[in-house]
Amino acid sequence: MEPTVPSLPTVSEAFIVGAVRTPVGRRKGALSGVHPADLGAHVLRALLERTGADPGAVDDVYFGCVSQIGAQTGNIARTAWLSAGLPQHVPGTTIDRQCGSSQQAVHFAAQAVGSGAADLVVAGGVEVMSLVPIASPMFVGEQAGMGSPFAGDGWREHFGDQEVSQFRGAELIAEKWGISRTDMERFALTSHQRALAAQADGVFDDEITPAFGLAADEGPRADTTLEKMAGLKTLTEDGRLTAAVASQISDGAAALLIASGEAVRRHGLTPLARVHTMAVVGSDPIHMLTGPIPATEKVLDRAGLSIDEIDLVEINEAFASVVLAWQKEIGAAEERVNAFGGAIALGHPLGATGARLMTTLVHQLRRTGSRYGLQTMCEGGGMANATVLERL
């Protein structure tokens, strides 16, 4: 007698029904004195107000945050929700996939909804880098005698004692793909110009909730020029990178509401887009930032789409070399990539950036009437997430 094969569960679609972000504050700028939990709470309240969703119906809260120390520890997904005065029965968990933490939060939310484990999930992130500098947990831990993440016997066996940092990775990428300092400076200038034009045209108005007296992103620089960039010192003596071609240290928060079809009907929500396809990959941890290339290839293959069918791309500008190498490999049309500027101009509040990019992508797909959007970003440790959205 043949064994009975159980029927497979039906996979539900995951819809984005709300997406909102704070303006991105410059280092030591308007948001630098705001407690991270309060910044997260602000965007959570705005998300629920805009969607009209019942906060008590939320199944879970996934929040990205990279430097989990001090004010950003203690499970900031939970402390931000409670700081917003929202129902105590709703749980939360904090995610660290390095710079992709809040993009991963969206993936986890979509997976929970798609599997039927949840109907309504908040996915977002927060980081106040003015208060908690990048890599603080590592540096403070080393200073306190807690050791280094790259000093174990297994790590040394496979990777030796060579420098492990995003700065070295970005330099190695520039060398490998033959990207000059001039190439990167031109790209950086374009990022500022696009961001400034987007601000002037009110492109970000629908996605931003003013926060703590700040109504617009502080990062874009109207006075930057190629001549000014050329006068900056490189980060290393023989390198090509300068601060001008790297993402800005920033403060910010963003959040999206992910819903099942049943939740959409039950709560009277309006779908903005659906999470079409997701992928995540690992890549060389020394080059560290090359992951968006295989992640893009993987997600497009899964989606059955070509890069030419993608209308808008948001790829995080951790460094100009990362995006330029990706473009060389993927062949995306330049005008479709970061059409409204990127992290070089708008900033990169680590744990919030994935959700910030997703929020921008959702709103701009609707504003432009485009169908497909792609988001991808490099991550510490040599990883990358990629997501394809489809406008509804």
Which residue's entry shows tokens 């403060």?
251
State yes or no: is 287 an active-site residue: no
Tell how far CA 214 is from the center of its chain.
21
Catalytic entry in 192, 276, 363, 378: 378
State yes or no: is 65 an active-site residue: no
Q: 117 with 78: CB under 8 angstroms?
A: no
Instruction: Tell me which H or E stretch contains 185.
Output: helix 181-200
- What whole-number distance in Å separates Cα of residue 119 and Cα of residue 264? 9
Strands 60-64 and 120-128: parallel
Q: 346 with 366: CB under 8 angstroms?
A: no
Catalytic entry in 42, 287, 348, 363: 348
- What whole-number distance in Å separates Cα of residue 309 and Cα of residue 52? 33
Catalytic entry in 42, 65, 99, 107: 99
State yes or no: is 348 an active-site residue: yes
Give 3-12 contacts, CB < 8 A, sequence gap 24+: 9/115, 9/116, 10/116, 11/114, 11/115, 12/113, 12/114, 12/115, 12/116, 12/260, 12/261, 12/262
Query: What number of helices (H) and strands (E) belong to the chain?
Result: 13, 10
List active site positions: 99, 348, 378
